[in-house]
Each structure stands twice: as structure tokens, then as C-alpha cells.
Amino acid sequence: MQRTLPLAKITGPMPSKTTVIRQRLFRKVDQARKSPVIWITGPPGSGKTTLVASYIRNRSLPGIWYQIDAGDADPATFFYYLKLAVDRTAKRRHPSLPLLEDSRGVSP
């Protein structure tokens, strides 16, 4: 059986075993989860990605990782990879997202 490699575009980072669990920041994220969207900002290298990855792992939460790049300016491409990310996370609990097709009915 051939196994496909995960796409970097939709594969989140794996926190190492030595990642420091930031309980104070975790509590802030816990409080912020009452809102539908959480915005985490900071300078490059400040630990935003590590915080989110370790939080999701620590709290055993599902999450979708999506690396946005210039190719996502094309809506069909964006929705194609978003569908892959959702399908990977949903594990068949929910119906799959449909592909966005062009006017000819062709998907990327």
C-alpha cells in the first residue's frame, strides 16, 4: 500500500517534547475562545505558532492548519486545499466540502 506524504500547506507544526507549556497564555486563549475568532499577533520569532500548536495539542482540540501563499489568490485553488485540510481533520464526521468549479464545471 502506497502512503502519500502530507502537504506542507495543510500540515501543522508538531511541538517538541521540550516545548514550554505557557499556562498563563493558555488561560488567556481559554478566555478568548468565548469569541468566534482569536487573533494572536507578535513579532516574527516570538512564539505565536508554538503557542497555538502546543495549546491545540495540550487541550486535545481539532485544528485546521493552512499556509496561505500567492497561489491562494485563485479561489478554486484556495478551496481545493481548504477542502483537503477539512477532510483531513473531519475524519468523516461531517460531509466533505464541495470543490469550487469554474464556469465549465472543471475543478483544479
Q: Give pLDDT tens digits for 63-108.
A: 888 888 888 888 888 888 888 888 877 666 666 666 766 555 555 5
Break the chain down into helix, strand, coil percent, rounded to 5. Answer: 40, 0, 60
Q: What is the mean pLDDT of the chain?
A: 82
Q: Nine-digit cell at 11?
A: 500540515
pLDDT confidence of residue 33? 94
**Letter for the amino acid at 79?**
F
Question: What percentage of the chain exceeds 70 in pLDDT?
Answer: 77
Q: Give the long-range contacts of residues 81-86, CB within 8 A, separation 24 or more.
A: 81/7, 81/9, 81/10, 84/7, 84/10, 85/10
Once rounded to an integer, what is the mean pLDDT over residues 31-36? 93
- Cβ contact 53:13 at 8 Å: yes
pLDDT band of 5, cuts 50, 70, 90 = low
- Give residue limits of the domains in the chain: 1-61, 68-108
For 77, the 3-state DSSP assignment is: helix
Model pTM score? 0.68
Above pLDDT 90, what percent of the chain? 32
